[in-house]
Chains A and B, each alone.
Chain A
């Protein structure tokens, strides 16, 4: 099967004044469609940097990144924005919803940027919210929702544009264990439906849900294990 994500010798250097800080030392990694991958590692291991690069929020200093056979590492800001909009669905630890907008509008937002009509947007956003079990919470603002519900809204937003990858950064970090398990169950369901999911975490409990674990240390992949 063809690679959905192909990272070749990715190096990321941060210039901190005089010093150069190597966040990634040359990471190569291939991820196929419908994989469910956990990226693990202690803080400072470069897993967040790697996630930002996979998510097209950041570009590598050197190395090549192919997403769906497109060389993303050479793209400019606005092209990357389009890739993020169409190909990637983010789920963040702190949910990152717009506080002044209700659940429906939050989920609708990516569709606005991809230029869908109002009717189409509402239909898709409602469907996505229903799929995560929030059919009765669409008109609620984030501060009127519980943590678990907020993460479901974020998940609905990530899914609404049918992305190639769902990229989750510590998705249960701000949730209690029970709610966290519920969210992980949702991820499992999505994986079974054929979605490609990458979860970045430092919790073994969370990583055990995934089907492949990539461990990072000092800016390098130190272990890559398929269960």
Chain B
């Protein structure tokens, strides 16, 4: 009860003191303003990068295993992976025959080619060779037309499903279905358009591609490359079981003796996520350290101005002590003043950062200032206020009443 009364009284005193020294308070809090602006914008930017990542990683699929020569984020030397035997369609067929815990699987192989439609050309388009099960494995949605059938896939028909970028480049006002495009020197019939996929980490587009039957791909572009076998687990909760089954079938297919190490990688979105999390944790931590430097500089300024404030009000401290103020009352009075100044700085900082975050959202990368950073920003500024105010407040609290009354 007593404490709350004094707290209320202290807030009023501090408010009056800050108002009486408006300019000084605002200047003193400038460091905190800049600090909070930096901290919140930094975290807002990271939030944006996270969102971009989450939406891109969704295209990899959480329940899909990628059997490849390489391991994502593998720890071995590049040489080790490169010298492994290629993964071929034979391995795929073997897997397909024996695997029981998979919902569907497809091989993929890719290359970059130039596309041509009438007098239009499009360079560096990613050509994917796969089977009809691609659609069920990756859950690809078709925007227009259809995906190729098992018959077209096995027969290696010259048909293709195109990405949104290709459609926009070639068929702006034309229905693409049934049109013929050239991949390098070879002609393909467009039978479908894949729904817009977006981009991976905002770096490269997932729509700048076409999908063709793998039999055709092999015939036209060769088999020397290692393929990727993509397996969708029957049950995402039992993905580990699927992983084990795939491993043992692949070891048979690759004729590995017991005791020999796997010469293939089973990759998963998880690996991506883990590496990404480690990376962003690092960025967040470093960002927080760098941005809090400005907060530290800011709080030194606050500490300085609080020493001045305490010194200036020596007489007032004396009067208050004479009529019964305890040490902690005086201590709280100045702690509250410094944290109010910092809170003010924090709020100004947020008021500056928020419109900037809108600008970032509109022009740089889609993001939104997370609520937790607003709360954290307010919390941090109050904490820094308490920290910066402690020594000045303590020096005021332990002043001798006789001497401070005599102070003019």
Q: How far is the CA of A166 from the CA of B225 in the complex (A)?
A: 101
List 17 additional A-B contacts (Cβ < 8 Å) besides A90-B323, A110-B323. A55-B322, A57-B401, A58-B402, A81-B325, A82-B326, A84-B322, A85-B324, A92-B405, A96-B315, A96-B405, A100-B16, A100-B20, A110-B324, A113-B323, A114-B324, A115-B2, A116-B5
B16 CB contacts on chain A under 8 angstroms:
100-101
**A77 adjacent to B402 (CB under 8 Å):** no
Q: Which of A52, A81, A101, A117 contacts B324 (CB 8 A)?
A: A81
A85 CB contacts on chain B under 8 angstroms:
323-324
Q: Which of A86, A98, A112 contacts B319 (CB 8 A)?
A: A98
With known contacts A52-B402, A57-B401, A113-B326, A81–B321 Cβ distance under 8 A: yes
Shortest B214–chain A CB gap in Å is 83
Q: How many A-B residue pairs have CB under 8 A?
A: 65
Q: Is A205 an interface residue (CB 8 A)?
A: no
B320 CB contacts on chain A under 8 angstroms:
109
A113 CB contacts on chain B under 8 angstroms:
6, 323-326, 329
Q: Is A157 an interface residue (CB 8 A)?
A: yes
Q: How far is the CA of A114 from the CA of B1 in the complex (A)?
A: 11
**A112 adjacent to B6 (CB under 8 Å):** yes
A residues 62-81 in Cβ contact with B at 8 Å: 77-78, 81
- Nearest chain B residue, comparing its CB with the CB of A96: B319
Q: Is B270 an interface residue (CB 8 A)?
A: no
**B324 adjacent to A57 (CB under 8 Å):** no
Q: Is B9 an interface residue (CB 8 A)?
A: yes
Shortest B320–chain A CB gap in Å is 7
A115 CB contacts on chain B under 8 angstroms:
1-2, 5
Shortest B388–chain A CB gap in Å is 23
Spell out B's residues near A (CB within 8 Å): 1-2, 5-6, 9, 16-17, 20, 315-316, 318-329, 400-402, 405
B402 CB contacts on chain A under 8 angstroms:
52, 57-58
**A112 adjacent to B327 (CB under 8 Å):** no
- Nearest chain A residue, comparing its CB with the CB of B401: A57
Shortest A145–chain B CB gap in Å is 16
Q: How far is the CA of A224 from the CA of B333 in the complex (A)?
A: 43
- Nearest chain B residue, comparing its CB with the CB of A113: B324
With known contacts A52-B402, A98-B319, A100-B20, A78–B6 Cβ distance under 8 A: no
With known contacts A57-B405, A100-B16, A112-B9, A82–B324 Cβ distance under 8 A: yes
In the complex, per-residue mask of A130-143: 1 if CB is within 8 Å of any chain B CB, else 0: 00000000000000
Main SS class of interface, B: helix
A161 CB contacts on chain B under 8 angstroms:
324
Shortest A74–chain B CB gap in Å is 18
19 contacts between A and B (CB under 8 A): A57-B321, A57-B401, A57-B402, A57-B405, A58-B401, A78-B326, A78-B328, A81-B326, A81-B327, A84-B322, A85-B324, A90-B323, A96-B318, A96-B322, A100-B16, A100-B17, A109-B320, A110-B324, A113-B325
Shortest B275–chain A CB gap in Å is 57
B315 CB contacts on chain A under 8 angstroms:
96
**B322 adjacent to A90 (CB under 8 Å):** yes
Q: How far is the CA of A115 from the CA of B2 in the complex (A)?
A: 5
Shortest A40–chain B CB gap in Å is 20
A residues 81-131 in Cβ contact with B at 8 Å: 81-82, 84-86, 90, 92, 96-98, 100-101, 109-110, 112-117
A78 CB contacts on chain B under 8 angstroms:
326-328
With known contacts A57-B402, A96-B405, A112–B326 Cβ distance under 8 A: no
**B322 adjacent to A57 (CB under 8 Å):** yes
Shortest B11–chain A CB gap in Å is 12
Q: How far is the CA of A57 from the CA of B399 in the complex (A)?
A: 11
**B323 adjacent to A157 (CB under 8 Å):** yes
In the complex, per-residue mask of A153-174: 1 if CB is within 8 Å of any chain B CB, else 0: 0000100010000000000000
Q: How far is the CA of A114 from the CA of B324 in the complex (A)?
A: 8
- Nearest chain A residue, comparing its CB with the CB of B16: A100
Shortest A201–chain B CB gap in Å is 18
Shortest B98–chain A CB gap in Å is 82
Q: How far is the CA of A110 from the CA of B325 in the complex (A)?
A: 8
B318 CB contacts on chain A under 8 angstroms:
96
Most chain-B CB neighbours within 10 Å: which of A90, A92, A96? A96
A116 CB contacts on chain B under 8 angstroms:
5
In the A-B complex, the 9 residue pairs with the smallest Cβ-Cβ separation, listed nearest first, are A85-B324, A115-B2, A113-B324, A110-B323, A81-B326, A78-B326, A57-B401, A96-B319, A112-B9
Shortest B400–chain A CB gap in Å is 8
Most chain-A CB neighbours within 10 Å: which of B1, B9, B324? B324
- Nearest chain A residue, comparing its CB with the CB of B17: A100
B6 CB contacts on chain A under 8 angstroms:
112-113
Shortest B332–chain A CB gap in Å is 12
Shortest A118–chain B CB gap in Å is 8
**A112 adjacent to B20 (CB under 8 Å):** no
A77 CB contacts on chain B under 8 angstroms:
326-327
Q: How far is the CA of A52 from the CA of B402 in the complex (A)?
A: 7
Shortest A22–chain B CB gap in Å is 17
A98 CB contacts on chain B under 8 angstroms:
316, 319
**B5 adjacent to A112 (CB under 8 Å):** yes
